[in-house]
Chains A and B, each alone.
Chain A
Amino acid sequence: MPAALHGDVELTDPEEKTRSRALNQFLAGVELKAFKMAQAALRNEDDALDAVQDAMLQLARAYANRPAEEWKPLFYRILENRIRDMQRRRTVRGRVFAWLPYRGEDDEEEPDLIAQARSPDPQPVRRLELDEAVGALEKALGALPPRQQQAFLLRTLEGLDVAETAAAMGCSEGSVKTHYFRAVQALRAQLGDLYV
């Protein structure tokens, strides 16, 4: 039996049903982007999934009754806190197990053979270009300082405005502008006119 959909959860109150449906729609809309952001920050798929899952749970438990317009900044704020916690734990773990041979990023950066395989797409060249661009951008994003990376992804991928990004990052709008500007400069310096 497939996982229960929001409609399967027994809800008697119509208002509660509507809220559950709205929350489902909201989470479905942000989950892929949130995963990408967590993955860029944590550079690990499983950790990224855990971070997104925790953020979803926390939003649902603590803020489901808040107005839906507030969900997005709240969700990304929770996600950011979760990512930071995981990075902190990873740093401690890294210090403790520093004597062990490291294997991680090299494995993660192995080329995706399926993604690189020939596609029956009518515009395979364009797709290939985009896929190459994706790889290059992801690599460049990974090299950015965390706050710049976050500001860039929230603004560019999620489409938050400066005020919403500031709320999500827990900083001033001026800081957002600075982080974002520096991120764009750094990415352009690395990627040049790849996208133009």
Chain B
Amino acid sequence: MSPVNETATEFERNARVVLERSLSRIDARTRSRLNQARQAALEAVSRRHPLWLRGTTLMPATGAVTAALLLAVVLWHREPAGVEMPLPEAQGSSMEDIDLLADSEALDLLEGWDGPFYEWAASQTDAIGESNG
């Protein structure tokens, strides 16, 4: 080792002592703020993995339960294959009502409904039919 390096090592050793001394001079306010920064960083880690996602060891079990529930729901609502269920009359009319309610144009027409006019027009048609017949 050259004398330069030996000197540098000695210098390093002394510099380290001085730098460590400088750390001990850091005031309480700064130390407190550094501590707060550290806690914020640790909280960021826990936020990054939400509680419900954090239990990675439970994930396979959670997945299996979810899959089983999903399968049960599908089977529950599944109709028998190849059998066309007849639609009862009442159910059919209620479905039409739903179609009408869902149809925005039909609702628009309903808003502009002129009852007396259509009743008068219908009575006129009936009267013409009777006179012709």
Contact = CB atoms under 8 A, between A and B. Distances in A.
Instruction: Give the dominant DSSP class at B's interface.
Output: helix
A33 B30 CA distance: 12
Contact of A36 (B23, B33, B54): B23
Contacts of A156: 12, 15-16, 19
Given A4-B39, A49-B30, A49-B33, A61 B44 contact: yes
A35 B23 CA distance: 9
Nearest to A64: B45
Interface stretch (A51-59, A80-88, A99-107, A162-170): A51-59
A134 interface: yes
Contact of A49 (B16, B34, B41, B43): B34
Interface stretch (A12-20, A89-97, A143-151): A12-20
A153 B18 CA distance: 12
Interface string A153-178: 10111000000000000000000000
Contacts of A36: 19, 22-23, 26
Contacts of A27: 38, 41-42
A16 B43 CA distance: 12
A89 to B, nearest CB: 20
Interface string A122-133: 000000001101
Contacts of B36: 3
Contacts of A28: 38
Interface of A: 3-6, 9-13, 15-16, 19-20, 23-24, 27-28, 31-33, 35-36, 45, 49, 52-53, 56-57, 59-61, 64, 112, 115, 130-131, 133-134, 137-138, 152-153, 155-157, 181, 184, 187-188, 194-196
Given A196-B10, A196-B11, 5 more contacts: A3-B36, A20-B46, A36-B22, A134-B18, A156-B15
15 contacts: A3-B39, A5-B39, A9-B43, A12-B51, A12-B55, A13-B55, A16-B49, A36-B23, A49-B34, A52-B34, A53-B41, A56-B37, A61-B44, A131-B21, A188-B8
